[in-house]
């Protein structure tokens, strides 16, 4: 079926962005309307309803063919399937469509086991292999909480949910609260029922699972993301104790002295599924009235939109159907911001207890606190556990003058000043993207930049060198080049003194494989000085020279960088000047 849909999309001859945007809507709404059944070829075939009679005439079918309309359930499933195929075809670059061969797919099929489930850990990188029965049992134990989840016979019809959201958006459009462009961007199309899965918490004993609801392709996703944008300014105005990330925390810790201070971290258990929706949304309305911030939506319409995206979400797990009757789904775009507002409500109620601490900052469900009195921390933890029935917290004090928080290891020196280092859990695998993987080079470069930037911003001077050495050794184990230069003009010099000048925007070492693949070196060694014949001329002069002369070279010594620059136009000019002055023999074609 997928091949047929791809062929249909190819017939579109997509030449501009407007027609490309219309493909998804065309496939989901017009293509799959009617099916017919051929007794000689017993499989269902699908066609657009306006071409139904034409197909019958062209196919020269007989009167014995039975025509049966498809069912509503089958129509919904196939509409989602066709939309996914069409969207995937459009978004996939042409050069990447044939990256996986039939041999790859066959190997994956042979490795597949029905008794195992392969997952990624909840935090960090790695691969977790679990027994399927144990995985299912852990997920079912989570779903047994009748205060949060309810098993139902069938999930809500996706088309009905899309229609409900579309009618709400039409109301906003009629009230001129949104424009036509926003309406089209938020209107759900080709959605599917959310699926529940679990990510193992490898850093905790017993390896419990964190339930995640895949909401990306759900009818609620687009509207939920837009509501997050609306509520973000309101959250920023009142986030007295909230931090955006660990880098913001670092700036707070710069001038703090921990002499005679106790360090502790407070963790909220299962915050997302314990957020009381109606209570939190009512609190948001109170903040809007209190702050005099003008939001794009009035309070009553904002409340309706929030409940539409969060309340009574139906989903599937395996062959069972459930409904989340309270809390916000982990995986919903609204999850973090609603959790922040709920914790903000709690913190406003406990403002006196928090004021008794030397320092108090929270990142979603993790809180860092300093205090000279252990009693003050114990009182706060007790108040947190008793102020709301949905809220349960645990407290961990620092040991050996150290306390991990987020990705920072906070240590106290003898004079009370703070030493910082990058914190990694005991389950950290050191697994990063391999340099030889079929991934764009800018992704590999971004990985290196991210790790070194994180180290320089988090670590203090007395811990930076150790962290940089650890990153270097870890990246080397992933075949990342130590001496890699990009955006440069280089010179290749053979043993026979003939040279070549070129430029590259990717890594030169080991990116010299671009000009000198391993098969070239193997062929040279196997031919023992004889000229190697190829089916077509090599694309690069360096490879052609080596195949013709059978010279054995060392790529590291043969390639030399002449100039580096980030501007591609400057590199092209520098390459032309170098070729004109040095006149390398292998560049005569230029």
Tell me the per-residue pLDDT of 354-405, one tens digit each, with 9 for 90 and over: 988 999 999 988 999 999 989 999 999 999 999 999 899 999 998 888 999 9
Task: Please calculate the CA angle 329-331-336 and round it to the nearest 5 degrees.
Answer: 80
Tell me the per-residue pLDDT of 234-259, one tens digit each, with 9 for 90 and over: 998 888 888 888 888 998 888 888 88
CA atoms within 13 A on the CB side of 261: 26
Q: Given a cut of 60, is residue 95 above it in pLDDT?
A: no
Q: CB–CB of 152/322 below 8 Å?
A: yes
State the Cα–Cα distance between residues 288 and 285, nearest whole angstrom.
5
Who contacts 159 (Cβ-Cβ below 8 Å, separation ≥6)? 72, 76
State the Cα–Cα distance between residues 445 and 462, nearest whole angstrom.
27
Q: How much is the pLDDT for 410?
A: 93
State the Cα–Cα distance between residues 260 and 167, nearest whole angstrom.
60
The CA distances from residue 427 to 125, 182, 205, 433, 482, in Å, are 9, 44, 11, 18, 26
CA-based end-to-end distance of the chain:
48
State the Cα–Cα distance between residues 16 and 538, nearest whole angstrom.
35
Q: Write down the mean pLDDT value for the chain.
A: 79
List alpha helices for 100-150, DSSP H.
102-111, 132-143
Q: How much is the pLDDT for 380?
A: 92
Across 164-173, 296-305, 400-409, 563-572, least confident range: 563-572
Determine phi and psi for 30, rounding to 5 degrees: -115, -35
Angle, in degrees to the nearest 10, between helices 221-238 and 299-310: 120
Neighbours of 450 (CB within 10 A): 10
Extract the tokens encoding 521: 């070196």
Q: How much is the pLDDT for 339?
A: 92
For residue 43, what pLDDT band results from cuts at 50, 70 and 90?
A: very low
Tell me the per-residue pLDDT of 98-156, one tens digit each, with 9 for 90 and over: 557 788 788 877 777 778 888 888 887 778 888 899 999 999 998 988 888 888 888 87
Q: How much is the pLDDT for 517?
A: 55
Who contacts 328 (Cβ-Cβ below 8 Å, separation ≥6)? 272, 273, 275, 277, 310, 334, 335, 338, 339
List alpha helices for 398-504, DSSP H.
441-458, 461-477
Tokens 């080079």, residue?
Answer: 441
Give the DSSP H or E segment for 264.
strand 262-268
For residue 516, what pLDDT band results from cuts at 50, 70 and 90?
A: low
Instruction: Choose among 426, 465, 433: nearest CA to 450.
Output: 433
Average of pLDDT values for 461-478?
89
Q: Given a cut of 60, is residue 526 above it in pLDDT?
A: no
Extract the tokens encoding 305: 């939109």
Q: CB–CB of 311/334 below 8 Å?
A: no
Tell me the per-residue pLDDT of 279-338, one tens digit each, with 9 for 90 and over: 999 999 999 988 878 888 999 999 999 999 998 888 999 888 999 888 888 889 999 999
For residue 93, what pLDDT band results from cuts at 50, 70 and 90?
A: low
Average of pLDDT values for 190-203?
87
Q: Given a cut of 50, is residue 166 above it in pLDDT?
A: yes
List alpha helices for 62-123, DSSP H.
72-91, 102-111
Q: How much is the pLDDT for 435?
A: 79
Who contacts 503 (Cβ-Cβ below 8 Å, separation ≥6)? 488, 489, 490, 571, 572, 574, 575
3-state secondary structure of 245: coil
Neighbours of 510 (CB within 10 A): 17
Peptide bond preceding 432: is omega within 30 degrees of 0, i.e. cis? Answer: no
């Amino acid at each position: 079926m997928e091949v047929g849909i791809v062929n249909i999309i190819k017939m579109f001859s997509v030449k501009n962005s407007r027609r490309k945007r219309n493909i998804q809507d065309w496939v989901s709404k017009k293509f799959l309307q009617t099916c017919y059944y051929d007794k000689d070829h017993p499989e269902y075939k699908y066609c657009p309803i306006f071409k139904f009679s034409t197909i019958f005439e062209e196919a020269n079918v007989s009167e014995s063919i039975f025509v049966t309309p498809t069912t509503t359930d089958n129509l919904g499933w196939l509409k989602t399937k066709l939309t996914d195929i069409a969207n995937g075809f459009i978004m996939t670059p042409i050069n990447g469509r044939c990256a996986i061969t039939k041999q790859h797919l066959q190997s994956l099929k042979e490795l597949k086991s029905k008794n195992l489930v392969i997952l990624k850990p909840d935090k960090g990188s790695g691969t977790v292999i679990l027994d399927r029965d144990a995985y299912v049992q852990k997920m079912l134990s989570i779903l047994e909480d009748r205060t949060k989840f309810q098993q139902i016979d069938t999930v809500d019809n996706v088309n009905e949910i899309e229609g409900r959201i579309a009618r709400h958006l039409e109301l906003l459009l009629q009230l001129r609260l949104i424009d036509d462009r926003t309406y089209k961007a938020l209107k759900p199309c080709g959605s599917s029922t959310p699926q529940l899965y679990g990510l193992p918490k490898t850093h905790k004993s017993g390896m419990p699972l964190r339930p995640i609801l895949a909401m990306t392709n759900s009818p609620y996703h687009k509207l939920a993301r837009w509501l997050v944008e609306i509520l973000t300014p309101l959250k920023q105005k009142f986030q007295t104790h909230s931090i955006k990330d660990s880098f913001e925390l670092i700036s707070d810790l710069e001038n703090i002295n921990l002499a005679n201070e106790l360090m502790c971290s407070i963790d909220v258990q299962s915050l997302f599924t314990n957020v009381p929706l109606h209570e939190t949304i009512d609190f948001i309305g109170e903040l809007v009235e209190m702050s005099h911030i003008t939001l794009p939506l009035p309070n009553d319409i904002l409340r309706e939109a929030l409940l539409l995206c969060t309340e009574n979400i139906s989903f599937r797990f395996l062959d069972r159907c459930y409904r989340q009757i309270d809390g916000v789904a982990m995986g919903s775009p609204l999850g973090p911001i609603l959790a922040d507002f709920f914790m903000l409500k709690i913190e406003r109620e406990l403002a006196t207890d928090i004021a008794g601490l030397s320092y108090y900052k929270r990142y979603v469900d993790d809180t860092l606190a300093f205090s000279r009195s252990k009693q003050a921390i114990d009182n706060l933890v007790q108040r947190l556990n008793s102020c709301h029935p949905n809220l349960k917290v645990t407290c961990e004090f620092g040991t050996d003058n150290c306390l991990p928080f987020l990705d920072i290891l906070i240590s106290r020196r003898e004079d009370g000043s703070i030493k910082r280092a990058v914190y990694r859990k005991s389950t950290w695998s050191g697994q990063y993207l391999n340099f030889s993987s079929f991934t764009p080079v800018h992704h590999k470069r971004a990985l290196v930049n991210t790790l070194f930037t994180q180290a320089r911003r988090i670590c203090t001077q007395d811990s930076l060198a150790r962290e940089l050495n650890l990153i270097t050794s870890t990246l080397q184990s992933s075949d990342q080049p130590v001496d890699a230069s990009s955006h440069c003009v280089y010179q290749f010099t053979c043993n026979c003194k003939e040279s070549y000048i070129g430029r590259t925007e990717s890594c030169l070492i080991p990116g010299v494989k671009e000009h000198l693949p391993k098969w070239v070196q193997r062929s040279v060694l196997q031919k023992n000085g004889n000229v190697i014949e190829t089916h077509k001329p090599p694309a690069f002069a360096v490879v052609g020279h080596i195949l013709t002369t059978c010279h054995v070279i060392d790529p590291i010594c043969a390639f030399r960088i002449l100039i580096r620059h980030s501007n591609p136009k400057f590199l092209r000019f520098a390459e032309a000047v170098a070729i004109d002055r040095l006149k390398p023999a292998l560049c005569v074609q230029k």
